[in-house]
Structure 1
Amino acid sequence: MSDSSSKNAGQVEKNQSRLPEEARRARLKKWRRTKDRISTYGVSAGGLGVVFALALIFIYLFYEVFPLLRSAEIAPVSSYVLQDEDIAHFALERYNELAAVHTRDGRLLFLEAADGRLRKELLVALPEDAAVSSFATGDPSEGLFIYGLEDGRALIARTDYRLSYPQDRRHIEPQIKYPLGADAVRVDPQGAALRRVAVQETGNGFSVAAATEDGRLLLAVYTATTSLFTGEVSLRHREYVLPSPPQQGEKLLIDGAGRNLFVADAIGAIHYYDISDPAAAHLVHSVAAVAAGETVTALEFLKGSVSLIVGGSDGTLSQWFLVRGDDNVQQLTRIRDFLRHAGAITSLAPEYNRKGFVAGDASGSIGIHYATSHRTLLMEPVSDKPLHHLGLSPVNTALLTLNADGSVRNFDLDNRHPQVSLSALWGKVWYEGREGPTYVWQSSSGSDDFESKFSLVPLTLGTLKAAFFAMLFAVPLAIMAAVYSAYFMTRALRGVVKPTIEVMEALPTVILGFLAGLWLAPFIEKNLPAVFAIFLFIPLAMIAASFLWSSLPAAFRARISPGWEGALLVPVVLLVGWLCVSMSPLVEVWFFDGSMRQWLTDVGITYDQRNALVVGIAMGFAVIPTIFSITEDAVFNVPKHLTQGSMALGATPWQTVLGVVIPTASPGIFSAVMIGFGRAVGETMIVLMATGNSPITNFNIFEGMRTLSANIAVELPETAVASTHFRVLFLSALVLFVITFVLNTVAEVVRQRLRKRYSSL
């Protein structure tokens, strides 16, 4: 009984002593589970946060890009009727307040654009002894117009608007100016009636072309000089008779340089005259602009007077401009066709500051088209009668239409980004002045007549080109160095090498770009043979040195601890590099006539000082630390029992590396390469400073490039907010975002498959 009692008492004491320990362990387990839950939720929240942030970036970029996808829209504002039936031209001023209506009897009516009320009526200073026989306008942005008279004379004038702000309110005062004086000028010395006329202000004065009633084609060039003291205008002029076209001209146009004359006849042909030397002006050639049996019903220049827009009686619209052929002779060439209208084209209104235009047809429909992007942004009926005239706002925000019965309709116009289309962004485009379709990025120019070129192909290709050459340089060096460091190098040497390379990653890329642009690029240009010799002879020298080392007596090799052999190659590399640079001038003299760069040019290879070779080396040094660090960790963490088992079965260290280590570490190596590639794709400062920023489309290692990231960095600070250029730059950022996202996604899928494949090792 006593033994049993003592045993129970001991058990109770033992249980009592265990209670605090078990309670403590229970508390620890509970705290551990709590921390696990917090970590799980924290990691999940972080991952979801990253996904959410990426989604927000994508949404914001798409929000800025979305307006590029919209078509044009018109909204009716008002309508009214004009009583004058003999209207020759219809135009709007830039504030959309006044509509200028030219009549054929020489009156200029300025109406309130909103309701048609007459603000002011001016009479053109036509001579009383001659009747009007023709009318034409020049560049719409200049407000220039001309009246041809029945006695062979013509009167040139322009509309002008004077702004004032009485009581802080804008007041527009319309007026007429006469750049050659208020007197009519002689065009035809013989005095024949001018059936058709054309006028254009050129750099040397004014050029006038006229088709006379008796079938002659005339050209007159006028230069006016205004006295600084008296204000008198002295006029110099010359008249020339041009070869008559096969058919009488129905529409004449002179380009802005005064070098080319285009004559459309009654059977649908356009005749091109070279008038650069008026005394030797001649007919170059004639082309059929519309189908057989159809006629040219409308003909106008686009902004810049380079491209012709031809409208036909069958509703067709086409763009034409001069293209220099193989014989060095310019030929009028059909470039592109636009969406066909339901009726004959009756009027054309080119935009004042872009390469777009509005077309009206006999069915009462209008079409809004843009040349460069080859887009028809709107096709909409606005009347049940033919449209005789269109008035387009100089700032593309309003449109007036005048139909056959004198009805005027006023529309608000929304057409903000017509320059962009899939074909213009990603396809070849035939731009004005070029010999054929091509990929071009040129977003701005010093000329108001500039045709924006927004091809993303040169930028995307430049991005891939820079990344490709950087990876071509970085991947072999980084991976082989990582494998050697992790598997063969001694621990002491590895402790120096790895931190040193990882510290390189902290070096600002702007420093690398600065060195690449100002030192490396000139050095490579000066020592081209040395560069290629280094790439060839350093690997050969390392192989030769390794062979010699293996041939030495074992006793001698035993003096160097295993893992330190790589340090012996450093003097070899430095010596070979120095020899290559020292021999470079002699090699150029022996094999390249003193200059390898000139030799490359002579054989047809373009060489730019800042090129893909420079970028590949500089950006390779920026990418190497990333690839090296991740690869080295992946190789070093391969389980030791795998390598030991391989060597126990008789494999050599190199066989073990190739057959066991690299396959096992392949997911990590692949991740390292893709992360490095992603960094190379998004790199900005190095490519900005070391490429020359030329948006060219090739993979020539001796030429530069322009990348998406560098282009955004250069142009975004200088573009107008919400402009087409601004939004196209955001589209570039979206393209870059999508490229990196797709690459990283594919890389992760491949990495997971590799990891699953080799997880059983």
Structure 2
Amino acid sequence: MSKDNIASAELDFNTPSAKRNRSIRALKDKFASVGIAFGGISVIVAILLIFFYLLYEVAPLFESADIERWQENNQQVAPYSVPGEGKTLYLTMEEQAEIGLRITDSGQLVFFNTLNGDVIKQESINVPAGATVTSFAIASEYSGIFALGFSNGEAIVFKQTYKSTYPDGIRVITPEVAYPLGTAPISISEGPVEVLALNGSEDEWTIVGGQRSKLTATDVTLSLNIITDEVSAETNTFTLPNMNIPAKKLLLMPDRSWMMIASDGGKLGIVNMKAEGGPAITQLIEATTGNITSFEMLLGGNSLLISDDLGVTSQWFLVRNDKNQWVMTKVRSFENGKAAVSSISIEHRRKGFVTISEQGQLSFYSTTAHRTSLSAAIIDGNADMIALAPRSNALLVEQNNQLSLWAIHNEHPEISWSAIWEKVWYEGYEEPEYTWQSSASTNDFEPKYSLMPLAFGTLKAAFYAMLFGTPLAICGAIYTAYFMVPAMRRKVKPFIELMEALPTVILGFLAGLWLAPFMEVNLAGIFVTLLVLPAAIIVFAYAWSGAPKAIRYLIPDGWDAALLVPVIILATYFSFAIAPYLEQMLFGTEMRYWVTSELGIPYDQRNALVVGVAMGFAIIPTIFSITEDAIFAVPKHLSYGSLALGATPWQTLVRVVMPTASPGIFSAVMIGMGRAVGETMIVLMATGNTPIMDVNIFEGMRTLAANIAVEMPESEVGSTHFRILFLAAFVLFIFTFMVNTLAELVRQRLRKKYGSL
């Protein structure tokens, strides 16, 4: 074959086989590019879906309240005449908002249909002959226990109850009236009962009443006759000392230790009912510069709500001062324009209330969140009385002898920006604090949904984990990638990366059940090890470098790091062996006791130190692997060129290799931090889950991820607690997204800066 034929055969790229190979290669390239693009877009779409789903669950928390006319069968319920006779002293509804109750000044209890006003049942209270109703009191909205005071100095206590039956599968609610202290009126005063208050428990009650300037207290003790099952009441009446403050209205706390007196001119008197020497007034406060128009207790009976004719409602509760004395303190106030507050209704199951002004302006408030959920004019002019349903989903408004029923949508009033991220002054606390406490055993519990302790705990756990894990991971990666011989690297690197496959629940289990007790008993040994171990490594390295060549050449070049294994084991053993003697010599007792007693630093067995060690081991493989790959991937000609120019290996590492690998190292640290922030099982099992804000390394914490894992199974779907947990997840998502975005910007800048080396 001629040369021309050979050249022509070698340069022929259009043979059927070559064309077929090019077509297959182009198809593979196209398939790969489409697959990679589809995968990348799918990841972005998945992240966006997670973002919008979290936002969808969180958004209702910040929605305002809404009120509209109640609708039945798609028709608005029209206002109707007030059922029964007499002036309304109190207005309320039962659980389902189907039956309303009017208590009148003639001693009538009128149960009526809230849709049309039809009377369901009417019962007369046993008013003494010749007497009239002169006062009214309620123990609490939740209890449904009331009292009427009469002009002859007597009072009677009664309670509304409802019985549900289901004849033929249809629910029927039957109202009933019970008399906890008996059907006979109780004598409490020598003159007309102009003001009245009561409170107590099942067996012990206190009724305070009388004239405005002359009050008496009656203690009522109930006892059960086990033979006849009859309940008898023993009373003890005593006159209260002159308070020098004419009472306009009285309120008695549930424990009956404190009584509040509202007087003319906006004055408020605080009476200690159990003071030494008998009841005595401890404070006289000018609660408002106006006149008090409403004076009620918030759910739980710990907070006092005072409304005035200036349109302001303020919240007060007892706070212990520096002298260990209880002082009634104004905590927060709510303004509703300048019109006087004419009526107030307390929520039965939440720390909220509703007011209406003389101009018909209705406002919904939440005390804990210090939030106004709604402010709207629903009627023209002044309302005589308003009443919330127990579920806060309905409102009755009485105006000009007419009743109107309104539907309320106010699902999450206890959440606001301040309640989540700022200090809140909770009932019973001496000052505003960041607190997370989502549930309790009492119905009058004040939910505490501050995310600050959880965010702080998340950062605290991540900080100590990074403090422990990052130096070890990066230093190990530097040595493995740059100084270690290939044969040893092929054994060490897979072994460390294999640690990443260890389930974190195993690490958390070991940290909680073994490491935490071990560190508690051997705390001094831990700190001695931190001092002795680096010193032992440096001393051994110096000794080895000065050893005779005949000894050093026994170990192949690059394998001398293996000699550090027995050094580390012996140094650790030595540290724990001498620790007890150092403890006795320096502290005279165990180090953890000395830290608590002498330094005043609390020590918790499951603390941040345990988490730092356990979670540090969890993030070491991630940071090590990425950092090691980044350093090993630095082109060898850069290192060889630096060495050829006279630089030492260490100078080459610091000035050439590390800057070139810095984008990868930074990415490794950020990914490790993301792993630490999102870790759940280790912090769940090794921290004690205490949502506190304390930088103390010997105290525990609770993280956002652990809190979600703990409380999500027990939260009611759609509840405030449920959605606030989704908000915690949303915060964690945004935090991770921002950190990763910032990390990518820094990484790109480092790549641009050192990419030309």
TM-score when normalising by structure 1: 0.96
After superposing the two structures, state which structure 1 stretch, 275-284 or 532-541, moved more: 275-284
Alignment of 1:175-254 (within 5 A): 175-188=176-189, 191-202=190-201, 204-212=203-211, 215-254=213-252
Task: Give SS of 2:425's match.
Answer: coil
Shift of the 697–14 alpha-carbon distance from structure 1 to 2, 3 Å rule, reads closer
Alignment-derived partner of residue 543 in structure 2: 548
Q: Deviations over 1:252-293 (max 9, x none)?
A: 1011111111111011111111113697221111211112xx
> How much does 1:198 deviate?
0.7
Deviation at 1:202, TM superposition (A): 2.8
Residue in 2 aligned with 1:474?
469
Could you tell me how far apart the structure 2 residues matched to 1:339 and 1:467 are?
43
Partner of 2:115: 114
Q: What is the rounded CA distance, in whole Å, between the counterparts of 2:719 and 2:177 in structure 1?
A: 34
| Aligned twin of 1:98 | 99
Tell me the secondary structure at the aligned position of residue 194 of structure 2: strand
Match of 1:3 in 2: none
Q: Residue 486 of structure 1 aligns to a residue in which SS?
A: helix
Question: What is the letter of the counterpart of residue 140 of structure 1?
Answer: E
Give the equivalent residue in structure 1 for 2:261: 263
Q: CA deviation at 1:133?
A: 1.6
Deviates more, 1:336-345 or 1:224-233: 224-233
Deviation at 1:671, TM superposition (A): 0.7
Secondary structure of the 2:392 match is: coil
Q: Mind listing any 5+ residue stretches in structure 1 that lack a counterpart?
A: 1-5
Aligned to 2:604: 608
Counterparts of 2:423 and 2:490 in 1: how far apart (Å)?
54
Of the candidates 646, 670, 691, which is equivalent to residue 666 of structure 2? 670
SS at match of 2:384: strand
Aligned residues of 2:360 and 2:378 also touching (Cα < 8 A): yes
Match of 2:292 in 1: 296
**1:312 aligned residue:** 308
Aligned with 2:57 (options 30, 52, 64) = 64
Residues 1:712 and 2:713 are matched in the alignment = no
Deviations 1:685-738 (A, max 9, x none): 000000000000122111010000000000000111110000000011111111
CA contact (8 A) 1:196 1:250 kept: yes
Alpha-carbon offset, residue 615 of structure 1: 0.1
Q: Which range is displaced more, 547-556 or 533-542? A: 547-556
- Asked if the contact 1:298–1:311 (Cα under 8 Å) also holds between the matched residues in 2, the reply is yes
Residue equivalent to 1:622: 618
Q: Deviations over 1:500-532 (max 9, x none)?
A: 101111001011001100111111111111111
Match of 1:76 in 2: 69
Instruction: Look up the match of 1:30.
Output: 23
Deviation string, structure 1 residues 355-388 (Cα, Å, up to 9, x no partner): 0111122111211100000001111112222122
The count of residues paired between Structure 1 and Structure 2 equals 748
Deviation at 1:16, TM superposition (A): 7.1
Deviation for aligned residue 1:131: 2.1
| Identity value in percent | 45
1:363 and 2:359 correspond? yes
Amino acid at match of 2:560: E
- Distance in 2 between residues matched to 1:236 and 1:279, nearest whole Å: 23
CA distance in 1, matches of 2:541, 2:274: 73
Q: Which residue of 1 aligns with 2:73?
A: none
Contact 2:218-2:236 within 8 A present in 1 as well = yes
Deviation track 1:218-245 (CA, whole Å, cap 9, x = no partner) reads: 2211112233443432111212222333
Partners of 1:512 and 1:686 within 8 A in 2: yes
1:444 to 2:456 alignment: no
The farther-off stretch of 444-453 and 271-280 is 271-280
Structure 2 CA distance, aligned partners of 1:48 and 1:20?
Answer: 37
Is residue 195–residue 248 contact of structure 2 (8 Å, CA) maintained in 1?
Answer: yes
User: Partners in 2 of 1:20 and 1:317 — Cα distance?
Assistant: 91
Q: How does 1:381-460 map to 2 (within 5 A)?
A: 381-403=377-399, 405-460=400-455
Deviation by residue 1:74-111 (Cα, 9 ceiling, x = unmatched): 11122112264511010000011111000011001111
**Which residue type is aligned with residue 496 of structure 1?**
K
Q: CA deviation at 1:567?
A: 1.1
How many Å apart are 1:19 and its aligned residue? 5.2
Whether 1:332 and 2:325 are equivalent positions in the alignment is no
Q: What is the distance in 1 between the residues matched to 2:222 and 2:13? A: 111
Alignment check: 8 A CA contact 1:205 1:221 kept: yes
Q: CA deviation at 1:31?
A: 2.8
- Contact kept in structure 2, 1:195 and 1:211, CA below 8 Å: yes
Greater shift in the superposed pair: 430-439 or 23-32: 23-32
CA displacement at 1:18 relative to structure 2: 6.4
Amino acid aligned to 1:127: P
SS of 2:558's equivalent in the other structure is coil
1:40/1:231 Cα in 2 relative to 1: closer, same or farther (>3 Å)?
same
Distance 1:642 1:669 in 2: 18
Q: Are 2:267 and 2:285, in contact at CA under 8 Å, matched by a contact in 1?
A: yes
**Distance (whole Å) between structure 2 residues aligned to residue 192 and residue 643 of structure 1:** 103
| Greater Cα offset, 171-180 or 198-207 | 198-207
Q: What's the TM-score, normalizing by structure 2?
A: 0.96
Q: 2:115 is paired with a residue of what secondary structure?
A: coil
**Is the 1:179–1:224 Cα contact (8 Å) retained in structure 2?**
no
Letter in 2 for 1:100: L
Equivalent-residue separation in structure 1 for 2:659 and 2:464 (angstroms): 25
Contact 2:153 2:210 in 1 (8 A): no
C-alpha separation between the residues in 1 aligned to 2:504 and 2:151?
74
**Further displaced range: 487-496 or 55-64:** 487-496
Distance 2:7 2:691 in 1: 84
What letter is aligned with 2:489? R
Is this contact kept in 1: 2:520–2:605, CA < 8 A? yes
